[in-house]
Structure 1
Amino acid sequence: MPTPTRITPDSLRAAARTVLERDGRDGLTMQAVATALGVRAPSLYKHVRDRDDLVRVVVDDVSRELGDRLDVALADAGADAATAVRALAEVARRFAHEHPQGYALVFGPLPGSASPDRAALDHGAAALLEAARRLVGEEHALKAARTLTAWMHGFTSMELVGAFRLGGEVDAAWSYGLERIVAGLAADGRGRAG
């Protein structure tokens, strides 16, 4: 008789994220994840309460991974605030293309019982908040980070669903928009500092 698969937190997260990227949000079910792990669905209930808890586990994992990547980008960018913001935006965009379903899950509506861990969300936002603070100062950092996030998410979400249909180069539009956002925020930050 074969040895039953041992489910670990890491194997559960990995299987759930694989299922999500392959089958989308609606396909992220207890049965699909159990099948990916080579176990029966009831075995998962020892690790997650229900599907909403499974979704929460995935959102936490995606948020942490994105936060880790943003932390590295911030450290690699050096002291220049505008360079840091550009680097973080590029990393976030690349992440969205690599993990479109996970990205959409993090930025989409979730049932209350699937609300992610606050620490995971804070970690995901920390680097962007720090880059915004460097660019505009402490007082306006949260507003600047929200502005950047809204623009990046809006652009990336439209890009992922093929909504840019008027021609032209999407990468050039990204660069143009990012430069205008960074320049506008930086000018505001200089005006407030002076």
Structure 2
Amino acid sequence: MTVPSRPAPSLPARTPRSRQILAVARDLLEAEGPEGLTMRRIGAALGIRAPSLYKHLPGKDGVRKALIADALLEIGTSLHEAVAATEESAGPAVRLLRAYRAYATAHPHLYRLCTVGELDRAALPAGLEEWAGTPFFLVAGEPYRAQALWAAAHGLAVLEIDNRFLPGSELDRTWASAAAFG
């Protein structure tokens, strides 16, 4: 299986200050969850007043959209690398789901921001969502199987993040079972 040579879509250019704001916003999101993602909290963490942030980003919604684009790029990069790897001990579906699980569980609040609720596709860089999901198609070989595999991975990720599996569940085996459908 080969990964298409199409590179990742580019994110919009950002100023050093907007990158700093987004880094602080991400740290707050990761540490405090969505409740921490306010312009007042971001400004306080940077030592500036919240209204000053609007010179660099168009409000909380703009921060959210930028974080979502960043997360999709990160997830897509991780998944493309996993599928392209030549690890002998695991097939592409196992590698794909391992990478997906690792990202979701390492960044649960960012993962939820990116994958739960309606997605403003018009706010994303052109082609980013499709590019990020392409590894599922590469593994599944067919669009509807790819969507089903992604839906299974997403469901498993959310259930694991929420600690909804029964105590004692061997989640490595559960994820490996999902990979068998890839």
- Please classify the TM superposition score into its range, dividing by the shorter chain length: 0.7 to 0.9
Q: Give CA deviations for 1:148-192 in whole Å, capped at 9, x if unaligned.
A: 11001101110110101253322222222322x13xxxxxxxxxx
Gaps of 5+ in 2: 1-14
Q: TM-score, normalised by structure 2?
A: 0.80
SS in 1 for 2:136: helix
Cα distance, 1:100–1:175 mapped onto 2, change above 3 Å: same
Partner of 1:161: 162
SS in 2 for 1:46: coil
* 2-structure distance, mates of 1:154, 1:70: 17
Matched, 1:119 2:107: no
Q: 117-126 vs 26-35, which deviates more?
A: 117-126
SS in 1 for 2:94: helix
Q: What is the number of residues matched between the two proteins? A: 167
Q: CA RMSD in A?
A: 2.5
* 2-structure distance, mates of 1:68, 1:44: 29
Identity %: 30
Gaps of 5+ in 1: 1-5, 134-140, 183-194
Matched, 1:104 2:104: no
Amino acid at match of 2:130: D
Partner of 1:60: 69
Indicate the structure (1 or 2) with the bigger Cα radius of gyration: 1
Runs of at least 4 residues off by over 4 Å = 110-115
The answer to which structure, 1 or 2, has the higher relative contact order (CA under 8 A, 6+ apart) is 2
Amino acid at match of 1:142: P
Match of 2:54 among 13, 37, 45: 45
Partner of 1:171: 172
Partner of 2:6: none
Identify, as 1 or 2, the structure richer in helix: 1
Q: Give CA deviations for 1:17-52 in whole Å, capped at 9, x if unaligned.
A: 111111112321111122222322112101211211
